[in-house]
Chains A and B, each alone.
Chain A
């Protein structure tokens, strides 16, 4: 099976600072990883993904880092804005399967 956990349930940052949200997974056969953002009362929205043959992928203001040696995944948000306030989930697919296993989420709070 697979278990996924985030390191901090809540993260507070100042507007303009960089944010780093961490995630750990248990199964070394995991091969696809996704970060989702969920605003209050809404469904999760895709942010960025990465496959196990990569260790870094960048998007607009976001970067995902994958360390397969220690089974760790992180999401970095540059120049954090108030609109980034949300719960962030990592999700993991193992062995080309059909199911995503989600972590418990980190609440990102942006202070003005």
Chain B
């Protein structure tokens, strides 16, 4: 799993509900990232965090929220404000705090809104 664990792998939710995706890493790396992937498209950055208690918006942060209370955990909440939440969500970690370097991805969480 590349030292990073995402759960759940599949998730269904009704419109109007918030849902939280879990991302845990066990390698003491500083930087963590959340990406969204839609069919036939590349990955788009939602949020990233380089240090505990700090995070920055990526290119498509609207309708999402994150927290980084512990170094090993970076959960993503998909809120009801996200207009098109059905997608494949990928969490990643990086050794480097500043400068991306190589990203190691988890296995992803597939969210479907019914």
Chain A positions within 8 Å of B, measured between CB atoms, are: 4, 9, 32, 34, 36, 41-46, 49, 89, 91, 93, 96-100, 102-105
Q: Of the candidates A32, A42, A46, A105, which one forms a contact with B108 in the assembled complex, judged by CB atoms under 8 Å apart? A: A42
Q: What number of B residues sit within 8 Å (CB to CB) of A?
A: 29
User: What's the nearest-Cβ distance from chain B to residue A67, in Å?
Assistant: 21
**Chain B residues whose CB sits within 8 angstroms of the CB of A93 once the complex forms:** 99-100
User: What's the nearest-Cβ distance from chain B to residue A107, in Å?
Assistant: 9
Q: Are A102 and B108 in contact (CB under 8 A)?
A: no
Q: Please indicate which of the listed interface residues B6, B43, B45, B106 has the most CB atoms of chain A within 10 Å of its own CB.
A: B43
Q: Are A100 and B45 in contact (CB under 8 A)?
A: yes
Chain B positions within 8 Å of A, measured between CB atoms, are: 2, 6, 31, 35, 40-45, 48, 50, 56, 58-59, 90, 92, 98-108, 110
For A90, the closest partner residue in chain B by CB is B42
Q: Are B100 and A46 in contact (CB under 8 A)?
A: no
**Chain B residues whose CB sits within 8 angstroms of the CB of A32 once the complex forms:** 100-101
A32 to B44, CA, bound (A): 18
